[in-house]
Structure 1
Amino acid sequence: MSSSDFIVIGAGLAGAAAAWHLAEAGHHVSVLERTTPGNHEGSSHGSARIFRYAYPEKAYTDLVVRARQGWDQLEAASGRRLITPTGSVDFGDLRDPRGLAAVLEASGVAHELLSADAARERFPQIAFDTEVLYHPDAGVLDALGTIEAMLELAQATGRAEVHTHWEAAGIRRTAGGFEVRSADGRSVTGAKVIVAAGGWLPALLGDLALPAGFLESVPAFEVREEQAFHLPWREADESGAAYPAWPTFIHKRSEMQTYGLPGGRDAGFSGQKMAQYKGGPVLPSARDQSGLITEEMRRRVQDYAMRYLPGVVPEPYAEATCLFTMTPNEDFVIDEADGVVLLSACSGHGGKFAPLLGELAAGLATGAGTVPDRFRVAHHRAEAQR
């Protein structure tokens, strides 16, 4: 049996970030991962996630600005380039580019508001159907590379251990804190526990011996198995004119909400990865994921590409699934009760905040910091009762 100051359950982006911050602050940490860090059954695998500043609420944009400082610190400490700049475009009748531009203006983030014609002239590979918000400092973040960098830095302090193939099978309170047992009989003890288990969080809640009032306020989680497709880029349009470099995009329209980004390191930075937002099936639990792509979704994405992405060949060269763990209002859950910190439910948009999420969770666990009220379970409960 090993003992630590803190036990972190889950070695995805959020859990790895928490471990990094705790170890850097001088605490001993045990990270427990049910398979391997950044594995394909979770939400943090692969090397391509969108980093962007555009949100309809200034509070989130300000958090991205704050998170970017953490990314800069992480890149400097690890010597890795974890965010590749690409710029980003937002459009569609449900996206409100003008509203987004006003938020970015208020937060001091560089941006442009373009007409559909001006945007098509700049990015002819996309068929824009509304005004477009463009902000140049967006990009593609390397999820797996980020996890590796944070865990390597945590372990380099000599105060962090990463236990792989360790599925938490039982959690009990002890006189000194907690004991977490694995399915094969191993155990780890620690004063406090941070649960960053993503889609596996709902199944662990009952084991955490949380106060009844706190547990009742935890929002209902919806676990989805999203389906993503990589589409080859065309080199030129029909006239032979070369297409410019691709930005990331978010296109929200009444019929379908989509997002896309250049493929990351593991795709050779080629092709456009895209998916329908909240298009995958809702699962009874994370264990019920199939890893399968449906023909219906493949056709839907191909039809979309033929209509809105003239710069791609609408035949996927790669396909993958990914878990989204959603709260009803799509806010995160970061809260603490009786020695347990919940750090989860990033609702499909948490990757860009990874260094900051770890900082917030570490602050709660050590008592050295706090989190925005909107991420507390009491706020989630108040929102649900409206």
Structure 2
Amino acid sequence: MSAVEVAVIGAGLMGAATAWALGRRGVSAALFEAREFGHTAGSSHGSARIYRRAYPDPLYLRMTGLAGELWRELELAAGASVLSTTGGLDFGRRRDPAAIAARLAEAGVPHELIPASEALRRWTGFAFDGPVTYHPEAGVVDADLAVRSMMSEAARAGVPASASTPVRRIEPLAGGGVRLHLATGGSQVAGRVVVAAGAWMSDVLGGLTPLPELTVTQQQAFHFPRRDPNTEWPVFVYKGDDTASYGLPGGRDGGPGGAIKVAEHAEGSVTTGDSRDGVVSPASRARVTDYVRRRLPGLVPEPFAEASCLYTKTANEDFVLDRVGDVVVCSPCSGHGAKFAPLIGEIAADLAMGKTPFDPRFTLAAHGVPASLS
């Protein structure tokens, strides 16, 4: 293959976003995916991921705004409705709606802090027992459509993509650049490589550079039918003394009745990208169903569909976005990365083109590991 300036490994949300960002800049690039495009083995499939502005952390709150602008840019470029606005609710004592509202106010993000009585009147599918923060910019990202749209725009800009092409080894070259050894035979020479391999990050890097501990867990989500199909359902995050859960309209995954996707924000079972079994935990199903029964009276507390996916988390849930030599480590997951995908693509492209890290918190050093190639 002809040499390119940047190779990208992984065609999930982050890899596709990086390819799109590079293509828009006119950078010669190539994208490699170990499985078929749009596979369901990782973290980027399905029709529903939460986009929200409500973060207690000012860094991530600022990033949501930047990402939101890029989602709309993608929609204009691709002519596709990738981000559907529903508004978002934050409630529960441990979620601290007042603190969330204060952060949103500091950032100039439209919002309301609403007493439970008023919230119950406005959103009849919920059982609130305390104040609720509402912000209208939240919504649902169609992950499948987002990946297809970003890859389509990258292809239009001249970035080729290869499916079912695992990268067996990344070889740093003596004169600079890297060679990707492909399982299909042959190789690809590139000036730099962005590794956005999700749960397979450690496998793809193969010890080339130290990484912080990345814990891969299998998570599960459940789709519950609405009692009234006309009931308004914003996305929501709940953290109470009993549990921590989130939910959102399920899009195509929710079926013709528009079921609501509900899941725990929990540790999940530790696994690997290749060893996950895809079997939904009966204990998790029972806990989420009990939560729906108690807290979401607008839903039928019997899931009609369920699915699993992978989280790849750092210890503090911060992202890893750094460059070591000619290798860019792109691991912005930790269970909350999807909403940032187009911004992550820009950050990874910046790193590949020699810019400094977006924020010191995302560097390898901040995660306690040296930035060096072995």
Task: Using structure 2 for the length normalisation, give the TM-score.
Answer: 0.94
1:321 corresponds to: 308
Does residue 168 of the first structure (1) align with residue 167 of the second (2)? yes
Does residue 146 of the first structure (1) align with residue 146 of the second (2)? yes
What amino acid is aligned across from residue 282 of structure 2 in structure 1? E
What is the deviation of 1:63? Answer: 1.0
What is the deviation of 1:129? Answer: 2.7
What is the deviation of 1:278? Answer: 2.2
1:84 corresponds to: 84
- In 2, are the aligned partners of 1:127 and 1:307 still within 8 Å (CA)? yes
Aligned equivalents of 1:7, 1:258: Cα separation in 2? 37
Aligned equivalents of 1:129, 1:197: Cα separation in 2? 41
1:240 corresponds to: none
1:29 corresponds to: 29
Structure 2, unpaired ranges of 5+: 370-374
Aligned equivalents of 1:27, 1:268: Cα separation in 2? 40
2:213 corresponds to: 220
Does residue 378 of the first structure (1) align with residue 365 of the second (2)? yes
What amino acid is aligned across from residue 361 of structure 2 in structure 1? R
- In 2, are the aligned partners of 1:86 and 1:139 still within 8 Å (CA)? yes
SS at the partner of 1:64?
helix
What is the deviation of 1:345? Answer: 4.0
SS at the partner of 1:145?
helix
What amino acid is aligned across from residue 113 of structure 2 in structure 1? L
What is the deviation of 1:268? Answer: 4.5
What is the deviation of 1:4? Answer: 1.6
What is the deviation of 1:34? Answer: 1.0
- 1:1-386 equivalent positions in 2, closer than 5 A: 1-158=1-158, 160-174=159-173, 175-208=175-208, 210=209, 215=210, 218-235=211-228, 244-268=231-255, 270-283=258-271, 285-368=272-355, 370-381=357-368
Aligned equivalents of 2:37, 2:14: Cα separation in 1? 11
What is the deviation of 1:5? Answer: 1.3
- In 1, are the aligned partners of 2:48 and 2:248 still within 8 Å (CA)? yes
What is the deviation of 1:106? Answer: 0.8
**Alpha-carbon distance change, 266 to 228 in structure 1, aligned in 2, over 3 angstroms:** closer
| Larger CA deviation: 28-37 vs 188-197 | 28-37
SS at the partner of 2:168?
strand
**Alpha-carbon distance change, 355 to 264 in structure 1, aligned in 2, over 3 angstroms:** same
Aligned equivalents of 1:266, 1:163: Cα separation in 2? 27
SS at the partner of 1:287?
coil
SS at the partner of 2:194?
strand
| Larger CA deviation: 147-156 vs 370-379 | 370-379
SS at the partner of 2:348?
helix
What is the deviation of 1:266? Answer: 4.1
Aligned equivalents of 1:186, 1:315: Cα separation in 2? 51
What is the deviation of 1:267? Answer: 3.2
- In 1, are the aligned partners of 2:176 and 2:326 still within 8 Å (CA)? no
| Larger CA deviation: 304-313 vs 362-371 | 362-371
SS at the partner of 1:286?
coil
- In 2, are the aligned partners of 1:172 and 1:207 still within 8 Å (CA)? no
2:372 corresponds to: none
- In 2, are the aligned partners of 1:85 and 1:137 still within 8 Å (CA)? yes
Aligned equivalents of 2:300, 2:315: Cα separation in 1? 35
- In 2, are the aligned partners of 1:38 and 1:46 still within 8 Å (CA)? no
1:239 corresponds to: none
Residues 348-385 of structure 1, C-alpha deviation per residue, up to 9 Å, x if partnerless?
11111111100011011102454111111111229xxx
- In 2, are the aligned partners of 1:97 and 1:113 still within 8 Å (CA)? yes
What is the deviation of 1:2? Answer: 4.1
SS at the partner of 1:20?
helix
What is the deviation of 1:183? Answer: 2.5
What is the deviation of 1:265? Answer: 3.3
Aligned sequence identity (%): 44
SS at the partner of 1:181?
strand
- In 2, are the aligned partners of 1:191 and 1:339 still within 8 Å (CA)? yes
Residues 289-327 of structure 1, C-alpha deviation per residue, up to 9 Å, x if partnerless?
111112222111111111111011111111110100111
Structure 1, unpaired ranges of 5+: 237-242
- In 1, are the aligned partners of 2:43 and 2:310 still within 8 Å (CA)? yes
Aligned equivalents of 1:182, 1:267: Cα separation in 2? 38
